[in-house]
């Protein structure tokens, strides 16, 4: 399965000159910082098997805006590489790309789950693993619950 995460949510962006962008997040600056850390984890380690555990760790943290070093250490990623993205122009450009991709989806709320190109509207109350497993075509991966476990 290919997974795309777009750490942006209901943020807004404004061009601030010299090809850079300023981001304003629904839940404030800490949310914007966490989004940038997640985005930089994804672009620095494009292999899903590497970035997803880092992303998941950030999402599960009580302080995602400061969890980068700890989550990188826990997932054996190099925080200095991710942080170079976070603090440099590459991170700003990457977050702008995430903004464009998010805006193209015309999301109405977060999280906005799209499976096989189609938005899944009942995701807010449903079991996300079950939704993904039900949409998966072919032999179900071992992580999917057996039909009688659902």
In degrees, rounded to 5, the angle at the alpha carbon of residue 118 between the alpha carbons of residues 116 and 119 is 125
pLDDT at 128 over 80: no
**pLDDT tens digit sequence for 92-102:** 999 999 999 99
List the chain domain ranges. 12-112, 121-150
Choice among 74-88, 89-103, 107-121, 122-136 with the minimum mean pLDDT: 122-136
**Taking the CB of residue 77, how many other CB atoms lie within 10 A of it?**
20
| 92 close to 21: Cβ distance less than 8 angstroms | yes
Name the token pair of 95: 């977050």
Quick one: what percent of the chain has pLDDT higher than 70? 94
Whole-angstrom Cα distance, residue 55 to residue 57? 5
What's the pTM? 0.87
pLDDT of residue 60: 94
Cβ contact 26:11 at 8 Å: yes
């Amino acid at each position: 399965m290919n997974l795309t995460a777009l750490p942006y949510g209901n943020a807004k962006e404004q061009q601030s000159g010299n090809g850079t962008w300023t981001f304003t997040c629904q839940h404030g600056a800490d949310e914007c910082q966490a989004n940038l850390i997640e985005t930089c984890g994804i672009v620095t380690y494009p292999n899903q098997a590497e970035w997803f555990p880092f992303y998941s760790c950030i999402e599960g943290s009580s302080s995602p805006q400061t969890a980068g070093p700890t989550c990188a250490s826990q997932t054996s990623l190099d925080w200095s590489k991710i942080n170079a993205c976070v603090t440099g122009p590459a991170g700003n450009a990457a977050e702008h790309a995430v903004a464009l991709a998010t805006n193209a989806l015309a999301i109405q709320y977060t999280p906005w789950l799209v499976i096989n190109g189609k938005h899944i509207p009942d995701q807010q109350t449903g079991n996300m693993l079950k939704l993904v497993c039900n949409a998966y075509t072919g032999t179900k991966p071992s992580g999917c619950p057996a039909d009688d476990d659902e």
